[in-house]
């Protein structure tokens, strides 16, 4: 999945067909939506044409498909269209339907990929906001499903599915982007076991189902209107469903999902856990730091007048606040261009802890050098005590560096410092300096 700005469809585009469970004729239309709008369904067949957000908190049922509801308004079997939108990189769109369920097509996401390509995908003037997984999130249920999402700089899915009595064991893995989604995931069709659908058929349900839009497994026999599209088509379809269900978490994901026996129930449970983890991260900083991007207290040129450090060892982009003569707050924007990311765990780049200590020392030095009589001096490290590293700092983070001078005697100073990202402490230390004349 490409980094960059948000995207929507370029123009309206429609797809007509039959819904799977009700057998109703339905037309689905994609319409452009503004930046930060998200994905919303609209039931144009109902009075007032109500909207339902593609939100895991709206999930009503997960049996055989994922269904959303808000009040009495419902939409069923949303996973294929949501998967196609995510796979093709669409962030904001209105999905209009004149029935309660999208057309099933051939049981895959391929018709929706073609619909999105027909509408076109256009970039918007707003950055894409990802949920980057920092710590493993896992769910497990009594049926044997285990889903884990691990830190990764890309959105990757690894899926294995096992059928009843171990009749089917397949595996599939890919990094998800528009190219891989269209070729490797979208064509994989819905499959079902005959013993599961026989009671439904007898009750007159799944009226739109046929061998033209599903593969039916009866014993060791595969019932289908065409040959299998992939040797592991079932695992691919499970991965496609998983992507659609995780779309309900609300943001594009940077993480590696490893799924054993996924299904709509465990998929949406993981989506909810991801969304709650994001909420918790935001709540952990009840008084977020207001970073003055326009008017810094000291910009980088003024910082360099006080400090002798230069690239690549200047660890402060600007000073964003002083409190009296004893406290100072600095800021460092971290990008993948930082030289230390190139060699420090290049597969999973992390800012070295010692450089966070150096950042604290530089901000504390600015405090000392602003004291009367300390101009034209240089601060040198004497010691660092009680150093603790709490969380990794990675490309894209904004590092806030806070220091407080607790003792200053002559040319010797002591300070405490800490580094934070999103209000969470990443490192802290007690520092001692000595000043020397230039």
Tokens 């294929």 sit at which residue? 80
Cis omega before residue 325 (within 30°)? no
- Which phi-psi region, left, alpha or beta, contains residue 353 (left: φ > 0; alpha: ψ -120 to 50)? alpha
Pairing of strands 398-409, 412-421: antiparallel
206: left (phi over 0), alpha (psi -120 to 50) or beta: left
- Dist CA 220 CA 237 (whole Å): 19
Residue pair 132/154 in contact by the 8 Å Cβ criterion: no
CA proximity to 332, closest of 270, 420, 269: 420
Q: What φ, ψ does residue 134 adopt, rounded to 5°?
A: -105, -30
Q: Give Cβ neighbours of residue 434 (< 8 Å, ≥ 6 apart).
A: 379, 380, 382, 411, 412, 413
The residues annotated as belonging to the active site are: 264, 344
Distance, C-alpha 226 to centroid of its chain: 36
Query: In 3D, which of 27, 28, 31 has the Cα closest to residue 10?
Result: 31
Q: Are 382 and 412 in contact (CB under 8 A)?
A: yes
């Amino acid at each position: 999945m490409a980094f960059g700005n948000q995207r929507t469809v370029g123009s309206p585009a429609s797809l007509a067909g039959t819904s799977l469970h009700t057998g109703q004729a339905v037309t689905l239309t994609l319409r452009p939506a503004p930046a930060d709008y998200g994905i919303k369904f609209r039931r144009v067949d109902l009075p007032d044409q109500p909207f339902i957000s593609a939100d895991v908190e709206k999930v009503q049922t997960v049996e055989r498909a994922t269904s959303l509801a808000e009040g009495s308004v419902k939409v069923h079997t949303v996973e294929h269209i949501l998967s196609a939108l995510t796979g093709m990189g669409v962030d904001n769109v209105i999905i209009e339907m004149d029935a309660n369920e999208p057309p099933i097509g051939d049981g895959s996401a391929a018709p929706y990929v073609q619909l999105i390509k027909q509408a076109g995908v256009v970039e918007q003037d707003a950055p894409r906001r990802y949920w980057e997984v920092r710590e493993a999130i896992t769910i497990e249920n009594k049926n044997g499903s285990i889903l884990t999402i691990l830190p990764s700089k890309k959105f990757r899915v690894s899926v294995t599915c096992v059928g009843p009595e171990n009749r089917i064991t397949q595996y599939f893995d890919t990094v998800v982007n528009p190219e891989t989604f269209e070729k490797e995931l979208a064509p994989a069709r819905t499959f079902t076991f005959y013993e599961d659908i026989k009671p439904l058929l007898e009750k007159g349900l799944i009226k739109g189902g046929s061998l033209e839009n599903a593969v039916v497994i009866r014993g060791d026999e595969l019932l289908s209107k065409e040959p299998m599209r992939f040797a592991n088509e079932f695992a691919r379809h499970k991965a496609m469903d998983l992507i659609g269900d995780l779309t309900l978490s609300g943001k594009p994901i940077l993480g590696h999902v490893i799924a054993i026996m996924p299904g709509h129930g465990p998929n949406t449970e993981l989506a909810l856990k991801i969304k709650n983890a994001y909420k918790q991260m935001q709540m952990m900083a009840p008084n977020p730091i207001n970073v003055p991007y326009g008017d810094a207290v000291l910009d980088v040129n003024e910082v360099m007048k006080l400090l002798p450090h230069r690239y690549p060892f200047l660890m402060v982009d600007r000073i964003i606040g002083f409190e009296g003569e004893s406290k100072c707050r600095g800021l460092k924007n971290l990008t993948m261009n930082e030289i230390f990311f190139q060699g420090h765990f290049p597969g999973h780049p992390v800012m070295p802890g010692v450089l966070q200590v150096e950042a604290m020392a530089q901000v504390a030095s600015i405090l000392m050098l602003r004291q009367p009589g300390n101009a034209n001096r240089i601060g040198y490290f004497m010691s660092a005590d009680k150093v603790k590293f709490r969380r990794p700092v990675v490309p894209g983070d904004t590092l806030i560096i806070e220091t407080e001078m607790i003792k200053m005697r002559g040319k010797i100073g002591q300070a405490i410092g800490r580094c934070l990202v999103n209000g969470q402490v990443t490192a802290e230390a007690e520092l001692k300096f000595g000043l020397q004349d230039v």
